[in-house]
Each structure stands twice: as structure tokens, then as C-alpha cells.
């Protein structure tokens, strides 16, 4: 019966609820004043003269307008915050003071006498009635019951600021808000928007008591390092961690406060983002015709998305994979950011590459096309060399002959002291670009050829992140080669922005190194991904965990750690804090003859000879002058 009545009251229009509150306050204030006189005179009878009635009726006439002005009828009672207590107390005190003033003026005109104790009794009774009734209604109409918790998913909001309050109001209809977590000790044990605020140490109790499976970070202006620390701490409780969008996305209207997003693994890198240098981007992209090889790959497609935003004249998408080309072309065509031209072809096809560059009048080339998966290239040496080495030479030669102004090779940290074929082929690609830059300098063409070297990109094709996601979805186990293996990691969005800016910094023949921060253990990455999924790691110390991590041993050609530099001490800063320039190296006069020998080995399908030539030249050039 009570539940039905409560539901009917909650279903009333807002204006009807306000009217009920106003009528309630009129009755309460009048009764409280009458009770004050009754207590003072110890006479519980209704007033018999007009003067007393006027004094009684003046109380609600004074109080209600003050209550309206102080906002007592604007708040939703069942979500009444704790701080509303002080507002109501101020409103009641002001109403009593003004009534005393009116009563005093009435005495001067001879209309009755008000004893001095009556205002004090009146203030106490009205305070108890008005404030107590609100919080009683809140308790009645917003019950915290175990049944309610089971009906709706329980969440904890990390951050009790303005964004957290708005998020809580948005989620209340569909979620049970178990509480706020906030690091501000001044808020602990208080209520914000009717929700209790707890310290971080209480999260495990909230998870256990209310079955919390989701924690939402509501701090859009949080720094990257602080976010990393909080996410690492929270995710250890076996809950799924989500986040409000960044403050920039909220201000620009890209997201609303009510829209939450998944915490991605790159949120745990703790990298502070640096806004792009618009001068470098304008110089490289604006008004130019840009071609991206490997446009359908992970790096190539992200480059295309970024470039399309920066007003190129045309964007040529060069890709050998038909479906990948279709996907990125369809995506960019739907955004109308730039005129895109899809070209299906391989970088090893000299005629196709030359036609694409000359026919479309390409000014800038970003060469991202390559076979990058280490074990696959190790098992297919000849194809890896054909695509990565001779494909690069084909594109470089075509760009030089067509007068392309800027050429940027996307390289990798595996090109430094390579131990596998993929790394070796990318080192050769760097040498080919450097040789072409030297030729451009000798002939005075003012063309710029450079390479940009960086580590692993989170989420790229062939990286461990998609593999780990698939394994988590299957219930595990997660497989890694060695628990002690480390890699540099960077988000794909940051890498694409820095590549473009590095190209604009080129003086010809440069090898740019992107600041990758500190290397990360692959085992830490695996554990973080399990925790971000709201699961726990199964181990000897925690045998009841959800997903196990299994070491399978190093694969052929893999290194325990990667390097970005041959000699970090020789790296020079540039005008961009995240981009370094490797020290210049001597020319490689033997590259031409080595390319000829390597071509013969491919023609003869002699894999052993091709390997020997590949690594032989690298040893020779590394001793002659490292980059």
C-alpha cells in the first residue's frame, strides 16, 4: 500500500509537488507559531480574537516568500544534499526575524502582546518541522534497500566535484550510486547531492557491501600521470573502470557529461600530451597534395584521419589490401574533411607508384606500407625484403624523380641493432632514405627525405593489445613470451601527430626519434588489461583469479628489450619537446652494390644469401657511422 502511494506521489508533475510543499509549509509555520504561544501560556485552545489570528497568519505570509527566494522549492527533495541543511536554517532564521519585526510593530499599534520567549520557541519548532520534514521525505522517497541495489547496477563515482555531481544526477534513473570516492579529506563522511563521500581506502568495502562492478572517473581535467595512478589503484579491486571524456571534449561539445567512455590501456601510460605545433602542421599539410602508402593499415589509417583534419588539397590513399582501402576511403568520405583519392596497388609495383605520384601531383609522401609482424616476416624472409626494402626504394625513387617536396619514412625501434628480418629490412629502408637525401642535397633539388623511428603503437595491427583483448574475451589465458620483456609504447593518435610534425622539421637525411617515455613490462601491460576488464589475475598468490598469464618463451628474432637510439647521448632536441633528432652519420657508398646483390638473391630465391647480405650491410654501416 505504502509503495503504491509513494509511486503515485513521485509520478505527480513537478508543479503539483511544489504546491504540496508550499501548502505544507503554510500549515507547519502556522501550527508552529500557535504551538509556541500555547507552550508559553500553557493553554492549548484556538485563538478567540482577530488580533491573535492576524499574528498567526502573518507567519506563513512572511515565511513562504522567503522560502521561495532561498530556493527551498527548487531542490528535488529525495535528492536533497546535506549542505541544504544550512540553507533551510538560514531561511527559517530570516523568516523568524522578520516575523518578530512585524510582531513588534503590531505591539506598537496596540494589537496584542508577544512574549519574548515565543520567537525562540517558534524558531526551534519551525526549524525542526521544515528541515525534519524534508529529510524525512528524502528518506521515505529514496530508500536504500537491498532490493533496489539488486534491481539496478551499483556504481561508484570517483570525484565528487561538479562533473561528478552532474554525472550522478544523470545516472540515478538507471544505476544505484553506492557513493563517491574523493581524495579531498574535507569531503569525507559528508554528502554531495545526497550521496555519501568516501576515501579511496573504503572502495573495497563498497565493492563488497553493494556488489559494485563499475567505477567511473569523473575528473575530466585530470593529468595523465594522476589518471594512471588512480586507474592502477582502482582496477586492482576487480571492477571495471570507465571515465568521463577529457575537459577539451566537454568544452567543445564532442561529449556530454552524461557520456562515459571506456578507460583505454593508453590511459595507463601516464604520458602527458603536448598540443600539436600548428606551424609545423601547416607547413607540412595545409594546401598540399599528400599521399600515404599503407593507408589502410593501423598507422597509415590514423595518419590519414589526422591529415584529413588539417586541410590538405588532396589526400591520396595508396594501399594493396582492397578491403582495408575501402574501409578508410569510406570513413574519410563520410567526414567531408578533404578530397580523397583511393589508389589500389603495391609499393613494389614501380609503374603504379610512379603514376599515382605524378598523375595526382603529390607534394608530400608518408611511407607507412610495410610488413611489420616479426614472426611472419621471419618465416617469409624473401617477401619481407621485397616489400620493406625494395618497396621503399621504389617509392623513394618515384618521389625523387617526380619532385616530391617531402618524404617521410615510418620506421621502428626494431631497426636499431636488429636481430630479426623485419628490423633489418626497416634499417635498410632508413639507409635508402638517407642515401636519397644525400643525392637531393648534391643535386640541389631542395627535396627533404627523412625517417621517423618509434616503438610499439597500442592497438596497431599485430600488436599485443588486440591479441590480449581477444584472449580476455575468450576467458584466457593471456600468453606472453617472457615476463621480463619490455617494450616502448605510445598511443596511435599521438604517434600520427608527431610523425607529421617531425616531417616538417626535416633538413634532409634526418632520423627522428619520438619520445616514448619509459619502457613497460609486457607482463604489466597484460595485468593492467585484465584489471581494466573488471577481472582479476590468477596466480599462485591468488588462485581464485579470473584469468591466468602464461609465458610461452621468446620467438625467433625477438629481443628482450628494444632501443630507440644507437647512442642516446648524441640525440639532439628539436623545437618540439617530444621529437629528437639522431646525430648525422656518414654516407654509405656500399648501399648500391648491396642492393644489387640482394636483388640477385631474391631472384634466385636464396633465403640464406639474402639474410647474410641483409645483416652484413647493417654490421658494416653500424661500425662506419651510427644513426
Domains of the chain: residue spans and CATH: 1-142 (no CATH), 147-252 (3.40.50.720)
Q: For position 321, what pLDDT does the model report?
A: 94
Q: Spell out the residues 6+ positions from residue 258 whose beta carbon is closer than 8 angstroms to its own.
A: 166, 167, 170, 171
Read off φ and ψ for residue 520, nearest 5 degrees: -120, 140
pLDDT at 219 over 60: yes
Average pLDDT (252-279) is 56
pLDDT at 469 over 60: yes
**If you average pLDDT over residues 243-264, what whole number do you get?**
47
Spatial separation of the C-alpha atoms in residues 430 and 427, rounded to whole Å:
5
- Cell, residue 417: 641493432
Helix (H, G, I), strand (E, B) or coil at 461: coil
Cα torsion 95, 100, 102, 103: sign: positive
Query: Residue 598: which of 416, 424, 430, 413 has the closest Cα?
Result: 424
430/599 Cα distance (integer angstroms): 18
What is the distance between the alpha carbons of residues 77 and 216, in angstroms, rounded to a whole number?
25
Which residues in 468-492 are b (16+ Cβ under 10 Å) and which e?
beebbeeebebebebeebbbbbbbb
User: What is the pLDDT at residue 414?
Assistant: 87
Which residues are within 8 A (CB) of 373 and not within 5 positions of it... i.e. 6 or more apart?
422, 461, 462
| pLDDT, average across residues 310-322 | 93
Alpha helix locations (H) across 348-491?
350-359, 374-379, 381-385, 391-401, 421-443, 464-473
Total number of residues shown for the chain = 627
Phi/psi zone of residue 70: left (φ > 0), alpha (ψ -120 to 50 degrees), beta? Answer: alpha
Looking up cell 590514423, which residue turns up?
Answer: 302
pLDDT(257) > 50: no
Give pLDDT, residue 247.
40
- Quick one: pLDDT band at residue 256, thresholds 50, 70, 90? very low
Say which residue, 45 or 471, is predicted with more confidence.
Answer: 471
Whether the CB-CB separation of 260 and 244 falls below 8 Å is answered with: yes
Whose cell is 646525430? That residue is 583
CB of 291 within 8 A of CB of 312? no
* Higher per-residue pLDDT: 409 or 239: 409
340 to 188, 291, 311, 354: CA distances (angstroms): 55, 10, 11, 18
Closest among 482, 381, 434 to 589, alpha carbons compared: 434
Give pLDDT tens digits for 497-506.
Answer: 889 998 888 8
Average pLDDT over residues 281-306: 91
Q: Strand 579-581 to strand 572-573: parallel, antiparallel, or no bridges (unpaired)?
A: antiparallel
pLDDT of residue 612: 92
CA gap 455, 307 in Å, rounded: 21
Q: Hey, which of 175-179, 208-212, 221-225, 603-607 has the most confident mean pLDDT? A: 603-607
| pLDDT greater than 80 at residue 127 | yes
Is pLDDT at 359 greater than 90 in this prediction?
yes
Going by pLDDT thresholds of 50, 70 and 90, the confidence category of residue 611 is: very high
pLDDT at 258 over 50: no
Taking residue 55's Cβ as centre, other Cβ atoms within 10 Å add up to 23
Share the mean pLDDT of the chain: 79
Question: pLDDT at position 405, please?
Answer: 94
Q: What percent of the chain has pLDDT over 70?
A: 78
Residues 583-605: pLDDT tens digits? Answer: 666 555 578 888 999 999 999 99
Mean pLDDT within 243-252: 49
Quick check: 98 pLDDT over 70? yes
Q: What percent of the chain has pLDDT over 90?
A: 23
Q: Which of helix, strand or coil describes residue 240?
A: strand
Question: What is the rounded distance in angstroms from the CA atom of residue 72 to the CA atom of residue 64?
Answer: 9
Q: What is the pLDDT of residue 554?
A: 73
12-48 pLDDT, tens digit per residue, is: 666 777 778 888 888 888 888 888 878 877 777 666 5
Say what the pLDDT of residue 10 is.
59
Mapped onto helix, strand or coil, the DSSP state of residue 524 is: helix
508-525 pLDDT per residue, tens = 888 888 877 777 787 887
Q: Of 406, 456, 459, which is closest to residue 433 (Cα–Cα)? A: 406
Q: What is the pLDDT of residue 564?
A: 64
Phi, psi angles (nearest 5°) of residue 87: -65, -45
Confidence bin at 269 (pLDDT 50/70/90): low
- Mean pLDDT is lowest, of 356-370, 406-420, 558-572, for 558-572
Is it the case that residue 293 has pLDDT exceeding 50?
A: yes
- Does the pLDDT value for residue 373 go beyond 80? yes
In the prediction, which pLDDT does 199 show?
87
Q: Name the maximum alpha-carbon separation found in the chain.
A: 122
Integer Cα distance of 510 and 437 in angstroms: 8
- Give yes or no for residue 193 having a pLDDT over 60: yes
The lowest-confidence range among 28-42, 242-256, 460-474, 561-575 is 242-256
How would residue 250 be classed by pLDDT, with cut points 50, 70 and 90? Answer: very low
Amino acid at each position: 500500500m505504502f509503495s503504491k502511494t509513494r509511486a503515485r506521489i513521485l509520478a505527480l508533475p513537478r508543479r503539483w509537488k511544489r504546491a504540496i510543499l508550499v501548502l505544507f509549509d503554510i500549515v507547519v509555520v502556522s501550527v508552529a507559531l500557535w504551538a509556541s504561544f500555547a507552550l508559553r501560556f500553557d493553554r492549548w485552545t484556538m485563538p478567540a480574537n482577530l488580533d491573535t489570528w492576524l499574528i498567526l497568519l502573518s507567519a506563513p505570509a512572511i515565511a513562504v516568500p522567503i522560502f521561495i527566494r532561498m530556493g527551498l522549492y527548487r531542490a528535488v527533495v529525495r535528492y536533497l544534499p546535506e549542505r541544504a541543511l544550512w540553507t533551510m536554517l538560514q531561511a527559517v532564521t530570516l523568516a523568524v526575524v522578520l516575523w518578530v519585526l512585524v510582531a513588534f510593530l503590531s505591539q506598537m499599534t496596540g494589537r496584542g502582546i508577544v512574549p519574548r520567549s515565543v520567537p525562540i520557541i517558534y524558531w526551534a519548532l519551525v526549524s525542526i518541522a521544515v528541515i525534519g520534514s524534508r529529510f524525512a521525505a528524502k528518506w521515505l522517497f529514496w530508500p536504500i534497500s537491498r532490493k533496489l541495489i539488486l534491481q539496478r547496477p551499483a556504481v561508484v563515482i570517483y570525484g565528487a566535484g561538479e562533473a561528478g555531481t552532474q554525472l550522478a544526477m544523470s545516472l540515478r534513473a538507471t544505476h544505484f550510486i553506492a557513493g563517491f570516492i574523493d581524495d579531498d579529506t574535507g569531503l569525507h563522511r559528508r554528502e554531495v547531492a545526497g550521496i555519501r563521500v568516501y576515501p579511496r581506502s573504503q572502495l573495497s568495502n563498497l565493492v563488497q557491501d553493494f556488489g559494485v562492478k563499475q567505477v567511473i572517473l569523473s575528473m575530466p581535467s585530470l593529468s595523465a600521470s594522476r589518471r594512471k595512478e588512480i586507474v592502477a589503484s582502482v582496477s586492482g579491486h576487480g571492477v571495471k573502470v570507465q571515465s568521463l571524456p577529457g575537459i577539451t571534449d566537454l568544452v567543445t561539445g564532442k561529449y556530454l557529461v552524461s557520456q562515459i567512455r571506456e578507460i583505454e590501456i593508453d590511459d595507463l601510460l601516464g604520458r602527458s600530451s603536448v598540443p600539436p605545433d600548428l606551424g609545423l602542421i601547416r607547413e607540412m599539410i595545409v594546401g598540399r597534395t599528400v599521399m600515404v602508402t599503407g593507408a589502410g593499415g593501423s598507422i597509415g589509417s590514423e595518419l590519414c584521419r589526422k591529415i584529413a583534419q588539417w586541410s590538405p588539397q588532396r589526400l591520396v590513399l595508396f594501399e594493396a589490401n582492397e578491403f582495408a582501402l575501402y574501409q578508410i576511403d569510406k570513413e574519410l568520405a563520410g567526414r567531408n574533411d578533404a578530397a580523397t583519392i583511393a589508389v589500389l596497388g603495391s609499393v613494389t609495383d614501380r609503374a603504379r607508384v610512379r603514376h599515382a605520384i605524378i598523375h595526382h601531383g603529390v607534394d608530400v609522401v608518408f611511407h607507412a606500407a610495410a610488413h611489420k609482424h616479426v614472426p611472419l616476416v621471419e618465416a617469409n624472409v624473401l617477401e619481407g625484403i621485397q616489400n620493406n626494402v625494395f618497396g621503399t626504394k621504389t617509392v623513394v625513387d618515384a618521389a625523387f624523380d617526380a619532385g616530391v617536396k617531402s618524404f617521410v619514412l615510418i620506421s621502428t625501434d626494431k631497426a636499431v641493432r636488429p636481430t630479426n628480418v623485419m628490423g633489418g629490412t626497416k634499417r635498410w629502408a632508413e639507409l635508402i632514405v638517407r642515401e636519397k637525401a644525400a643525392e637531393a642535397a648534391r643535386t640541389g633539388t631542395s627535396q627533404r627525405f627523412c625517417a621517423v623511428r618509434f616503438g610499439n603503437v597500442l592497438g596497431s595491427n599485430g600488436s599485443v593489445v588486440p591479441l590480449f583483448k581477444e584472449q580476455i574475451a575468450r576467458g584466457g589465458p593471456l600468453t606472453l613470451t617472457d615476463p621480463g620483456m619490455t617494450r616502448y609504447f605510445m598511443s596511435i593518435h599521438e604517434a600520427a601527430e608527431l610523425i607529421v610534425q617531425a616531417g616538417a622539421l626535416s633538413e634532409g637525411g634526418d632520423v627522428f626519434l619520438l619520445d616514448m617515455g619509459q619502457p613497460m613490462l609486457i607482463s604489466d601491460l597484460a595485468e593492467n588489461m585484465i584489471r581494466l576488464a573488471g577481472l582479476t589475475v590468477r596466480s599462485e598468490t591468488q588462485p581464485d583469479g579470473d584469468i591466468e598469464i602464461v609465458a610461452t618463451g621468446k620467438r625467433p628474432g625477438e629481443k628482450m628489450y628494444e632501443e630507440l637510439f644507437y647512442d642516446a647521448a648524441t640525440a639532439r632536441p628539436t623545437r618540439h619537446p617530444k621529437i629528437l633528432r639522431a646525430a648525422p652519420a656518414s654516407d654509405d657508398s656500399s648501399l648500391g652494390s648491396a642492393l644489387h646483390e640482394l636483388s640477385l638473391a631474391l631472384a634466385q630465391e636464396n633465403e640464406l644469401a639474402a639474410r647474410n647480405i641483409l645483416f652484413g650491410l647493417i654490421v658494416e654501416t653500424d661500425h662506419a657511422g651510427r644513426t
